[in-house]
A and B are shown apart, each in its own frame.
Chain A
């Protein structure tokens, strides 16, 4: 069985060979189970199942990508949207980014989706991860032209804890355009999803994501605010159950003046689960009058739960409003007592407070479908469906 290095070809293969695969001595991989990248995986020639046909942009039909194989033949012709198959391109500014290079060398082609100026498009994509110890590579590239709007929902599923998935999403958000990107990761195996976004003048990028940890669930956002008045808002939720790893990494660069950014992260960590948050916001010399905020809140269910939270700011200009912080704690004992004193048994009280902790950010999400999926999953995971009902995520 080949190592991941052998999955790559072309120029990227050479670059990755000289960079090497990630390992735990690299700062960005210090808390990740990088050893999973150094295992051997099976190369897949065809998708394990044939994806359902009938993808369209109307009626919520989803594009299904199985084992990283993009069904190019299913892509519809739609006004204002162009789908094309292109070869993997190197990610500008991230030429030495190991996971980007691994994906560039491993993905046979890229699905490029271009939204024409002033068009509004909604799209839903489902990724089915490989079975057994298969490896999959997917590369998507979205170009949202000036004044256009893209609402993208993506769900990643995979049952095999032995599998490996590499996903890269590239996006360019044109001037005054909007890209709303909602994701749910629910893969049992190792998955690395890297998102590279460039945001233009007065354009907005909003990311809403829920990460249900698997062997290694690692999501990384690299956002460059390149146009004056650009905005980025990241809201991420992580759940690390026993023996799972949920990792959110985000970096926002304020390159142009008057940009705003907000990074919010919440994680629930069970016994023997690990959550990582690494948030970095840099306001460059070229980005005065910036406003940048970061917060990570972590709830530990058990003393055997692990959290690594590292919010950091790098400010190279005086005219900046910025804040950052992290909290790590357990359920509030007074609140727990209060619910029990009103008749709710301890287990139910714990579930209710945990659901409230996770439900608060979900309330603010714009993607109704993702909100529902994530809420359903949480209700099941918390094991108190009857008690929690629907309202807890809908009323506040």
Chain B
């Protein structure tokens, strides 16, 4: 089986500070991996470096995505190739409507992949259908991207975008932070609806409670820039009760 994502001995620094120090991780199509770890371990850095954000310098190691060198691609090329990062803090963009933004994003991706662009009518149908999936208020579709949205609405909007863009690899960076129990359930149901045999997911979280809703195939504990331990979902329960202390180098 070809790995969807293969990270080998990845070293990343921000400015002069090393953050990831030899990270290895393989995600196969259809698998959901969870990454837990203490503050400052490098969880968000991992998601940013995979999405191509500036300011994260890869000093050594390699990342293969669908067998190709991911690090060679620009941010938008990565998105078009199927990588989607649901941000911990989604950005508000006054003046750009949610629908217009998402249609431009979807059609930019389709164009990059050599596919036909979606008409306005076809896009609207798709958007309405996916908004239902995450119980996103249709009024928010016409509003400016995340502008004046509550914390829960922003996270729902991220999963809504994910549902419309149908990526191959979903990176969820602390999607549970700031959500109440009902919002957590809705967002998790949205994510679960997108699970399938072709799609891989990397769920970054501080808390085991998210993993009650999105049950992972593999759990990794990231400590000081490296995977300290991997296991099944019981590892998350163990960390929840014992903390990260015993896993620190």
Question: Is there contact, CB below 8 Å, between B101 and A395?
Answer: no
The answer, among B87, B94, B112, for a CB contact under 8 Å with A338, is: B87
Question: Is there contact, CB below 8 Å, between B144 and A345?
Answer: no
Residues of A within 8 A of B144 (CB): 356, 396
Residues of A within 8 A of B126 (CB): none
CB distance from A355 to the nearest CB of B (A): 8
Question: Is there contact, CB below 8 Å, between B95 and A342?
Answer: no
Question: Is there contact, CB below 8 Å, between A352 and B104?
Answer: yes
CB distance from A344 to the nearest CB of B (A): 5
The answer, among B96, B143, B161, B165, for a CB contact under 8 Å with A392, is: B96
Residues of A within 8 A of B103 (CB): 389
Assess whether B243 is interfacial by the CB under 8 Å rule: no
Assess A342 versus B91: contact at CB under 8 Å? Given A392-B96, A395-B97: no
* Least CB separation from B110: chain A residue: A343
Assess whether B74 is interfacial by the CB under 8 Å rule: yes
Bound-state CA distance A391–B52 (Å) is 29
Assess whether B132 is interfacial by the CB under 8 Å rule: no
Question: Is there contact, CB below 8 Å, between B51 and A392?
Answer: no
Question: Is there contact, CB below 8 Å, between B97 and A392?
Answer: yes
Question: Is there contact, CB below 8 Å, between B76 and A346?
Answer: yes
Provide the main secondary structure of the chain B interface. Answer: helix
Question: Is there contact, CB below 8 Å, between A342 and B102?
Answer: yes
Question: Is there contact, CB below 8 Å, between B104 and A348?
Answer: yes
Provide the main secondary structure of the chain A interface. Answer: helix
Residues of B within 8 A of A360 (CB): 94-95
Question: Is there contact, CB below 8 Å, between B91 and A338?
Answer: yes
CB distance from A239 to the nearest CB of B (A): 16
The answer, among A337, A342, A359, for a CB contact under 8 Å with B101, is: A342
Bound-state CA distance A332–B97 (Å) is 17
Assess whether B118 is interfacial by the CB under 8 Å rule: no
Question: Is there contact, CB below 8 Å, between B79 and A356?
Answer: no
CB distance from B81 to the nearest CB of A (A): 9
Assess A387 versus B96: contact at CB under 8 Å? Given A340-B76, A346-B76, A395-B142: no
Assess whether A42 is interfacial by the CB under 8 Å rule: no
CB distance from B98 to the nearest CB of A (A): 9
CB distance from B127 to the nearest CB of A (A): 13
Bound-state CA distance A357–B87 (Å) is 23
Question: Is there contact, CB below 8 Å, between B108 and A356?
Answer: no
Chain A 325-355 near chain B by CB (<8 Å), digits 1 or 0: 0000000111101111111111011001101
Bound-state CA distance A392–B93 (Å) is 12
B77-134 CB contacts (< 8 Å) to partner A: 78-80, 84-85, 87, 90-91, 93-97, 99-106, 108-109, 112
CB distance from B138 to the nearest CB of A (A): 13
Assess whether B53 is interfacial by the CB under 8 Å rule: yes
Bound-state CA distance A391–B79 (Å) is 23
Residues of B within 8 A of A389 (CB): 100, 103-104
The answer, among B99, B106, B142, B145, for a CB contact under 8 Å with A343, is: B106
The answer, among B75, B80, B143, for a CB contact under 8 Å with A396, is: B143
Question: Is there contact, CB below 8 Å, between A391 and B53?
Answer: no
Assess A353 versus B93: contact at CB under 8 Å? Given A340-B75, A395-B99: yes
Question: Is there contact, CB below 8 Å, between A344 and B96?
Answer: no
Question: Is there contact, CB below 8 Å, between A344 and B100?
Answer: no
Bound-state CA distance A342–B91 (Å) is 12
Bound-state CA distance A338–B100 (Å) is 14
CB distance from B107 to the nearest CB of A (A): 8
Assess whether B54 is interfacial by the CB under 8 Å rule: yes
Bound-state CA distance A356–B143 (Å) is 13
CB distance from A351 to the nearest CB of B (A): 10
Question: Is there contact, CB below 8 Å, between A353 and B79?
Answer: no
Residues of B within 8 A of A344 (CB): 76, 104-105, 108
Residues of B within 8 A of A340 (CB): 52, 74-76, 79
B3-31 CB contacts (< 8 Å) to partner A: none
Residues of B within 8 A of A359 (CB): 95
Question: Is there contact, CB below 8 Å, between A339 and B101?
Answer: yes
Question: Is there contact, CB below 8 Å, between A387 and B108?
Answer: yes
Question: Is there contact, CB below 8 Å, between A343 and B112?
Answer: yes
Question: Is there contact, CB below 8 Å, between B74 and A346?
Answer: yes
Question: Is there contact, CB below 8 Å, between A335 and B91?
Answer: yes
Residues of A within 8 A of B87 (CB): 338, 341
Bound-state CA distance A166–B90 (Å) is 49
Question: Is there contact, CB below 8 Å, between B76 and A343?
Answer: yes
Bound-state CA distance A233–B113 (Å) is 48
Assess A343 versus B79: contact at CB under 8 Å? Given A338-B87, A392-B100, A395-B142: yes
Bound-state CA distance A396–B54 (Å) is 29
Question: Is there contact, CB below 8 Å, between A343 and B85?
Answer: no
Bound-state CA distance A338–B79 (Å) is 11
**Residue of A338, A349, A359, A396 contacting most chain B CB atoms (<10 Å):** A338
Residues of A within 8 A of B96 (CB): 352-353, 356, 392
CB distance from B137 to the nearest CB of A (A): 16
Bound-state CA distance A339–B99 (Å) is 13
Bound-state CA distance A349–B52 (Å) is 15
CB-CB nearest 7 A-B residue pairs? A356-B95, A343-B79, A343-B109, A342-B105, A340-B75, A395-B97, A338-B91
16 more CB-based (< 8 A) A-B contacts, given A342-B102, A345-B112, A392-B95? A334-B91, A337-B75, A337-B91, A338-B90, A339-B101, A339-B105, A341-B75, A343-B105, A344-B108, A352-B104, A356-B94, A357-B95, A359-B95, A360-B94, A392-B97, A395-B97
| B→A interface (CB under 8 Å) | 51-54, 74-76, 78-80, 84-85, 87, 90-91, 93-97, 99-106, 108-109, 112, 142-145, 161, 165
The 18 sampled A-B contact pairs (Cβ below 8 Å) are A337-B54, A337-B75, A338-B93, A339-B105, A341-B52, A341-B79, A342-B101, A342-B165, A345-B112, A346-B76, A348-B108, A352-B104, A356-B144, A391-B99, A392-B97, A392-B100, A395-B97, A395-B100
